[in-house]
């Protein structure tokens, strides 16, 4: 018996239908969380014949792993975990997905140019090698001599040992595809940040694809590296990476040799918008002379759309960190957007559905007539940048939260 067969039962109420981005595009019952549950848990997948096999394969790939369904399920069913476990059991991740994830994982080792060239060969990534990011990955560029630990910016005086130690997790996209985002995030803080240079992928894309062992290997590497420096706060500029880092203690449950360290890492994680919202003095310095609620000096940035990533929108706290931050600053977006359709391995393995979700978001942006689309997720930012470079977003330039804040007058 699978673990999910012992869990709560779906009541069939349909509350999940309105929140599932995949179902809202296809309107196929088997693509809804309710349909996935009954197909995979209640034994309908055991129907004989090639059509049933096709339906099961299609159902397993048609999930973004966003967690929206679990956030509204009164019965407590977690379809995301059911799909993930089934993907692992069936080894359903395609060779294309596996290769793409390996390139993302090893991109910094290959060098930025070669990594993007290899990635551009995959469906959906065409042209990404022409983005012309920095020649060296972020973690390579900030390396100080032969040290495997960097302090950013390099301290001009000894670091105060009594001050909170903050470590920074970059993630794959910010490291070698959008290194400027990581720099913007660190420059906002104007204080010493410890950055282990051997850190790697958080493991979220692999875990979502059902490649649990790959995800555990990636997570174990980060756990050992960050545990060695014992930061008070583990800061990241990506909501999806923050979600995965927070789940390390689930990936290494009690009884696992790494559980204690994993739990410590998970409990110390802070996403950038959450951290800024809690730091009153820092937030006042970032916003500068502009007063809360006075948006007249933001004419170059307004109106803007706020894209709330799924891993922020459906976080365990029940509310979005980036939305709280903008409320705190008194800056109101013209429109708030949801899922962009990226979903890591979902974008690679399910191009049609991914494009459908993205096109829905693009239509909302164009109707709103905004100048910027702001997000706090690296994957969402990359997906939006792809749409912008194709001309789909018109004049609405995607910006990471850190870049948006750095442009405040």
- pLDDT per residue as tens digits for the range 217-237: 999 999 999 999 899 999 999
pLDDT-derived band at 317, boundaries 50, 70, 90: low
Rg (CA), the chain: 21
- Decide if pLDDT at 159 tops 80: no
pLDDT at 111 > cutoff 60: no
Confidence of residue 155 (pLDDT cuts 50, 70, 90): low
Mean pLDDT of all residues in the chain? 84
Query: Higher-confidence residue: 75 or 159?
Result: 75
Of residues 345 and 213, more confidently modeled? 213
- Give the Cα separation of 311 and 315 in Å (integer): 6
Average pLDDT over residues 192-210: 90
Residue 384 has pLDDT above 60, yes or no: yes
> What average pLDDT does this structure show over 308-319?
80
- Three-class SS state of 196: strand
pLDDT value at position 138?
A: 81
Which is higher by pLDDT, 116 or 237?
A: 237
Say if residue 81's pLDDT is above 80.
Answer: yes
Orientation angle between helical segments 378-389 and 351-368, nearest 10 degrees:
70
Once rounded to an integer, what is the mean pLDDT over residues 378-387? 93
pTM higher than 0.95, yes or no? no
Would you say residue 393 has pLDDT above 80?
yes
More confident residue, 204 or 54: 204
Percent of the chain with pLDDT over 70: 79
Determine the Cα–Cα distance for residues 17 and 253; give it in Å rounded to an integer: 31
| CA–CA gap between residue 5 and residue 386 (Å, rounded) | 40
Residue 33 burial (C-beta neighbours within 10 Å; 0-12, 13-18, 19+): buried
Residues of the chain with CATH 3.40.50: 287-406
Q: Which residue has the tokens 């990241």?
A: 236
User: How far is Cα 397 from Cα 384, in angstroms, rounded to an integer?
Assistant: 9
Instruction: Return the pLDDT at 320.
Output: 86
Q: Which of 100-109, 169-178, 379-388 shows the lowest per-residue confidence on average (mean pLDDT)? A: 100-109
Long-range interactions of 253-262: CB distance < 8 A, separation 24+: 258/220, 258/223, 261/223, 261/224, 261/227, 262/219, 262/223
**Given this model, what pLDDT does residue 292 score?**
46
Query: Going by CATH, does the domain composed of 287-406 fall within 3.40.50?
Result: yes
Dist CA 96 CA 306 (whole Å)? 32
Prior bond of 153 cis (ω within 30°): yes
Q: Kindly tell me if the per-residue pLDDT of 103 is higher than 90.
A: no
Q: How confident is the model at residue 294 (pLDDT cuts 50, 70, 90)?
A: low
- Residue 117 pLDDT greater than 80, yes or no: no
pLDDT score for 336: 96
pLDDT at 374 over 50: yes
How far apart, in whole angstroms, are the C-alpha atoms of residue 98 and residue 111?
A: 19
> Would you state the pLDDT for residue 371?
94
Query: By percentage, how much of the chain surpasses pLDDT 90?
Result: 49
Q: Cβ contacts of residue 274 below 8 Å, gap of 6+?
A: 242, 321, 324, 325
Separation CA 365–CA 359 (nearest Å): 10
Quote the tokens at residue 159. 């670091």
- DSSP letter assigned to residue 294: -
Give the per-residue pLDDT at 1.
Answer: 46
Please indicate whether residue 117 or residue 84 has the higher confidence score (pLDDT): 84
The per-residue pLDDT for range 27-70, each reduced to its tens digit, is 999 899 999 998 888 665 566 666 667 777 788 889 999 999 99
The arithmetic mean of pLDDT across residues 297-302, rounded, is 72
The pLDDT of residue 172? 86
How high is the pLDDT of residue 305? Answer: 97
Q: What is the pLDDT of residue 162?
A: 60
Indicate whether 106 pLDDT > 60.
yes
Instruction: Judge whether residue 119 has pLDDT over 90.
Output: no
pLDDT bracket for residue 210 (50, 70, 90): confident
Per DSSP, helices labelled H in 158-299 are: 172, 179-189, 204-208, 212-229, 239-246, 248-251, 259-268, 272-278, 280-287
Of 213, 132, 217, 224, nearest in space to 179 by CA: 132
Q: What's the pLDDT at 39? A: 84
**Range with the poorest average pLDDT among 151-155, 312-316, 320-324, 388-392:** 151-155
The residue ranking higher by pLDDT, 76 or 128, is: 76
């Amino acid at each position: 018996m699978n673990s999910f067969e012992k869990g709560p039962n779906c009541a069939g109420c349909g509350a999940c239908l309105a929140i599932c981005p995949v179902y809202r595009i296809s309107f196929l019952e088997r693509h809804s969380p309710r349909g996935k549950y009954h197909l995979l848990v209640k034994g309908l997948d055991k129907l004989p014949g090639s059509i049933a096999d096709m339906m099961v394969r299609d159902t397993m790939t048609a999930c973004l792993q966003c967690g929206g369904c679990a956030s509204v399920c009164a019965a407590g069913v977690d379809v995301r975990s059911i799909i993930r476990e089934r993907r692992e059991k069936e080894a359903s991740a395609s060779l294309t997905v596996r290769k793409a994830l390996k390139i993302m994982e090893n991109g910094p080792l290959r060098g930025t140019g070669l990594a993007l060239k290899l990635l551009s060969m995959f469906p959906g990534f065409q042209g990404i090698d022409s983005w012309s990011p920095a020649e060296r990955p972020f973690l390579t560029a900030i390396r100080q001599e032969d040290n495997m630990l960097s302090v950013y910016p390099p301290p001009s005086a000894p670091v105060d040992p009594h001050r909170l130690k903050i470590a920074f997790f970059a993630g794959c996209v910010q490291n070698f595809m959008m290194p400027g985002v990581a720099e913007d995030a660190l420059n906002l803080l104007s204080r010493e940040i410890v950055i282990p240079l051997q850190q790697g992928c958080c493991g979220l894309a692999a875990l979502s694809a059902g490649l649990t062992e790959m995800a555990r290997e990636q997570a174990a590497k980060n756990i050992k590296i960050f545990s060695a420096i014992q930061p008070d706060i583990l800061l990241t500029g990506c909501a999806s990476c923050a979600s995965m880092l927070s789940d390390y203690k689930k990936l290494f449950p009690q009884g696992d040799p790494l559980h204690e360290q994993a739990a410590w890492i998970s409990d110390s994680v802070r996403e950038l918008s959450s951290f800024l919202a809690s730091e009153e003095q820092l937030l006042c310095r970032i916003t500068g002379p502009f007063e809360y609620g006075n948006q007249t000096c933001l004419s170059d940035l307004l109106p803007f759309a706020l894209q709330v990533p799924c891993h922020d929108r459906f976080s365990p706290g029940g509310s979005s960190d980036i939305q709280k931050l903008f409320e705190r600053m008194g800056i109101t977006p013209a429109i708030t957007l949801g899922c962009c359709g990226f979903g890591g391995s979902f974008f690679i393995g399910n191009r049609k559905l991914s494009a459908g979700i993205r096109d829905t978001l693009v239509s909302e942006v164009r109707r709103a007539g905004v100048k910027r689309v702001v997000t706090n997720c690296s994957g969402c930012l990359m997906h939006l940048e792809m749409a912008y470079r194709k001309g789909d977003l018109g004049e609405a330039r995607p910006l990471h939260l850190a870049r948006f804040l750095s442009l405040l007058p």
